[in-house]
Amino acid sequence: EVLTVVDDPTIPNSYGFYLYDDEGVKARPRFLIRNGVITEFLHNRETAAKFGVKSNAAARASAYDREPIVRMANTYILPGDMTFDELIEDIKLGVYIRTFGEWNIDDLRYNMRFVGKEAWLIENGELKHLVRNPILEITTPTFYKSIDAVDKNIEFYAATCGKGDPGQGVPVFVGGPNVRLRNIRVLRR
């Protein structure tokens, strides 16, 4: 209920900015998840027709001689209204993973794995010390069900969305605020 995920190619000066996709469809913000409910999928003209909707301008190619593929532009979580201190204040024991050194998801988009790069132990609502390589292995439904709070600080990072055969990489932004996950298990290497 607290999570809203947007993919917006219209953010000026962003890494994934465009006004029209590679099929000539006018770009607009796309609300993929709104208040915890999936509301929209990324589409090109072909997939939109199969779903009985209009294309939402998600067809992108890495070059003029490559086929446009359905893909993200600037995908991020909308900020909430909590400060970071409020986000962690009632956590008795937890891990704050600030950055990731590794992340992946299987082809079915069901099993995810994240390995923290910069991570801190949280004890009684305070950051205590660095934690080495915490691992979060989780299924997609469990991940989304465990999010119970979002802070108001938002950060973007330049990245590349790689897809296709041969591989096509296009520039994107990813990011958002910190999110709190409840009742999950964090592993160590």
Tens-digit pLDDT profile for residues 54-106: 999 999 999 999 999 999 999 999 999 999 999 999 999 999 999 988 889 88
Q: What is the pLDDT of residue 7?
A: 97
Q: What is the pLDDT of residue 165?
A: 79
Q: Which pLDDT band holds residue 12 (cuts at 50, 70, 90)?
A: very high
Q: Which pLDDT band holds residue 188 (cuts at 50, 70, 90)?
A: confident
Q: Which pLDDT band holds residue 157 (cuts at 50, 70, 90)?
A: confident
Q: Where do we find the tokens 């009632």?
A: 90
Q: Is 4 exposed, middle or buried (0-12, 13-18, 19+ CB in 10 A)?
A: buried
Q: What is the pLDDT of residue 146?
A: 95
User: Hey, where are the domains in the chain?
Assistant: 5-188
Peptide bond just before 79 cis, omega within 30 deg: no
Q: What is the pLDDT of residue 125?
A: 97
Q: Give 178 or 165, the one with higher predicted confidence.
A: 178
Buried b or exposed e, range 133-150, using 16+ CB within 10 angstroms: ebbbebeeeeeeeebebb
Closest CA to 96 of 149, 144, 141: 149
> Is the pLDDT assigned to residue 42 strictly greater than 90?
yes
Q: What is the pLDDT of residue 140?
A: 93
The rounded distance, in Å, linking the Cα atoms of 97 and 173 is 19
Q: What is the pLDDT of residue 107?
A: 86
> Is the pLDDT assigned to residue 159 strictly greater than 80?
yes
Q: Where do we find the tokens 């590679």?
A: 22
Q: What is the pLDDT of residue 14?
A: 94
User: pTM of the predicted model, to two decimals?
Assistant: 0.88
